[in-house]
Structure 1
Amino acid sequence: MRYEEIKVGDSASFSKTISESDIYQFAGLTGDFNPVHVDATYAETTMFKERIAHGLLTGSFVSTVLGMKLPGSNSVYLSQSFSFKAPVKIGDTVTAKVTVLEKKDPKRILKLKTEVYNQYGSVVIDGEAMVMKLIK
């Protein structure tokens, strides 16, 4: 999508069901083998009562929206804030949604609302991002 076509209020989303494999692959890629993510016996002793997905695994779906949909290819992630509101468990379907809050011309920078919801419509991650749309 061209920068000129993007309007305040535009939004895009991406959904994914979290699998056990996703959690193990993320742990392997990042080295984060915190037992709350990978050890069911340990996780049962926590407030969550079962394993939960890594917060940044869930948050990474925001990057999917930014790079593939809005603003799409030829963009650079400048910053991101996340507030983790609720756990994501194996089998949950999460939807990352990005909404344009502001356009900052002439630098082609977008301020974006970033949210991730679970299948019940509850916000699991809330935040904001700044992205620069490059000239092709």
Structure 2
Amino acid sequence: MDLYIGQKAQLSKTITSSDVVAFAELSMDRNPVHLDDEVAANSIFKKRISHGMLYGSFISAVIANELPGPGSIYMKQDLSFLKPVYIGDTVTAVVEILDIPKDSVYKLLTQCFNQNNELVIDGTALILRK
């Protein structure tokens, strides 16, 4: 596949309670704001939220599977978490090529949006692809 600046790829997934519980076990991040309805109700979020790294990992899926695609190796990822994602929200991870250098290190715009098209993660990544 020929890659070009401005090229984009994306994927979407609806976050379920089971996703959050499974991610908590896998990541060992058992913060009650993710797992306990009562604790979350008394938090600034007022209900349970997803782990930011759960839906942040959707960016990795786009990079590995779509753009730049198989064989891509993460070198760096910067993320800003801008809004919470709640159970039942649908997150769309979007990756866009910002730069195609001669040394095979691609700079990518990495963003996630909720179902209301609100930016929930903003970031950039450096990916090695030969």
TM-score (norm 2): 0.98
Structure 1 partner of 2:92: 95
Report runs of 4+ in structure 1 exceeding 3 Å deviation.
Answer: none
* In 2: Cα distance, 1:65 partner to 1:35 partner: 29
CA displacement, residues 14-63 of structure 1 (integer Å, 9 cap, x when unaligned): 10000000000000101000000001110000110000000100100000
Structure 2 residue identity aligned to 1:110: Y
* In 1: Cα distance, 2:51 partner to 2:29 partner: 8
The two structures, once aligned, show a CA RMSD in angstroms of: 0.6
| Count, aligned residues | 130
SS in 1 for 2:43: coil
* Superposition pairs of residues 1-12 of structure 1, within 5 angstroms: 1=1, 5-12=2-9
After TM superposition, give the deviation of residue 104 of structure 1 in Å. 1.3
* Superposition pairs of residues 3-42 of structure 1, within 5 angstroms: 5-42=2-39
After TM superposition, give the deviation of residue 92 of structure 1 in Å. 0.2
* In 1: Cα distance, 2:106 partner to 2:11 partner: 19
CA displacement, residues 49-102 of structure 1 (integer Å, 9 cap, x when unaligned): 000000100100000000000001011011000000000000000000000000
* In 2: Cα distance, 1:67 partner to 1:8 partner: 18
Structure 1 partner of 2:41: 44
Q: Percent identity between the aligned chains? A: 46
After TM superposition, give the deviation of residue 118 of structure 1 in Å. 0.2
* In 1: Cα distance, 2:36 partner to 2:105 partner: 42
* In 2: Cα distance, 1:64 partner to 1:16 partner: 11
Residues 1:110 and 2:106 aligned together: yes
* In 1: Cα distance, 2:85 partner to 2:101 partner: 34
TM-score (norm 1): 0.94
* In 1: Cα distance, 2:9 partner to 2:105 partner: 17
Structure 1 partner of 2:122: 126
